[in-house]
Structure 1
Amino acid sequence: MCPKSRQTRVHVVNPGARLKLYDTSQALAHIAGKALPTLRDEGLHPDDLLNDKEAGDVLGIDASTVRAYAATGYLDSGTQRHGRTWWPRHAVEARREAGDQRQYNPGPQPGNPRNRVPRPRHDPRISEIADLTRRSQATSTEIAQRYQVSTRTAQKLLAAAHRHSTS
């Protein structure tokens, strides 16, 4: 029993290492003061959940790289349990067996300047505004109301129309 509370808990047997999870029979044996029964060691199971450090050990990379791989979709995003992200062993081993495929991405890469929509070379409103100014004196307020733009944008359109009509 803990001196300050009436709760009983299993003490950490491996400080600094991965948190050990105990089954019911082990916890009850500890509370009763008996030796902990050993669990069957069935080896590595494909459904074992690995934290970022353990997944990094399997992949041969740092834990921060595992998190970056998950964020970019290069590795399965994992599952959230108890405030931490865990990756199934089979997903991590599949990533390891697939080899390095970061250079292959069938879609457009985020941030690539080639993905931008090309800006129009010529704004069709400029020709219309140039025709308006030839016929009558158009003000930026009239242009702003007609095209539903700000006054500053209307001023820029008028300046572009003036350059267009003089060239």
Structure 2
Amino acid sequence: MTEDDIAAASGLPLHTWRRRHGAAFRARVKVVDPRARLRLYDAAQALAHIEGKPIPALPSTGPHPGDLLTDKEAGALLGIDPSTVRAYASTGYLTKGTDRHGRTWWPRHAVTARREAGDLRHQNPGQQPGDPRNRAPRPRHDPRIAEIADLARRPPLTTTEIARRYEVSDRTAQRLLAAARQHAGG
């Protein structure tokens, strides 16, 4: 939980909770990772403190598969840079992660599954023979080109007239006139 979550659970605005209860809370409940920029507290400990109950000890069972890891922690687990973790997530090589508290977090089980799967980034051999994506693009036949080629035989034809007649932009009118001149010449 963040301090914002703890304040909400206490029923107070964050600034009021920090002013009235923040120092006492931080003295009794320690952050989960003191090196982290975002102060996160164990939910069971935070809720016990709010309710006035004894604070339970942190479970020392080791890493849990549901733990949320930052890009730095995931990178350390995978042996790569944090920027590579973010790139893997954007390309689908790693799960997208979840956004919480303005940051992206990856579940430990997803990161360990990626590490144990090995390097599968280049297993796709690409487009196979017969793949429809291998075909050359179809030539575009614009019926306006033949009309403009006929109109261009009677000079002078301007792009402004073409733009007005076909209700297109000046750039499209220029393109159509160039294609019509090529059509008439060839």
TM-score (structure 1 length as normaliser): 0.66
Q: Which residue of 2 aligns with 1:111?
A: none
Change (3 A) 1:15 1:77: closer
Is 123-132 or 7-16 further displaced after alignment? 7-16
Summarize the alignment of residues 1-167 of structure 1 with structure 2, pairs less than 5 Å apart: 5-7=19-21, 8-11=24-27, 17-18=35-36, 19=39, 21-22=41-42, 23-24=44-45, 28=49, 38-105=57-124, 118=137, 120=139, 123-134=142-153, 136-137=154-155, 139-140=157-158, 141-151=160-170, 153-167=172-186
Deviation at 1:148, TM superposition (A): 2.3
Aligned residues: 153
Q: 3-state DSSP class of the match of 1:80? A: strand
Change (3 A) 1:97 1:138: same
For 1:64-113, what per-residue CA distance to the aligned partner results, in whole angstroms no more than 9, with x for missing partners? 211221122211111122222211111001111121122245888xxxxx
Change (3 A) 1:58 1:146: same
1:55·1:92 contact (CA, 8 Å) conserved in 2?
A: yes
**Distance in 1, Cα, partners of 2:137 & 2:185:** 26
For 1:20-68, what per-residue CA distance to the aligned partner results, in whole angstroms no more than 9, with x for missing partners? 624337974xx99x9x753332222211111111111110111121122
Change (3 A) 1:49 1:153: closer
Q: 3-state DSSP class of the match of 2:106? A: strand
- Indicate the structure with greater helix content: 2
**Distance in 2, Cα, partners of 1:76 & 1:126:** 49
Change (3 A) 1:44 1:147: same
Q: 3-state DSSP class of the match of 1:102? A: coil
Deviation at 1:9, TM superposition (A): 2.0
Deviation at 1:155, TM superposition (A): 4.6
For 1:133-157, what per-residue CA distance to the aligned partner results, in whole angstroms no more than 9, with x for missing partners? 44x5573344333322234543553
Bigger radius of gyration among the two: 1
1:59·1:96 contact (CA, 8 Å) conserved in 2?
A: yes
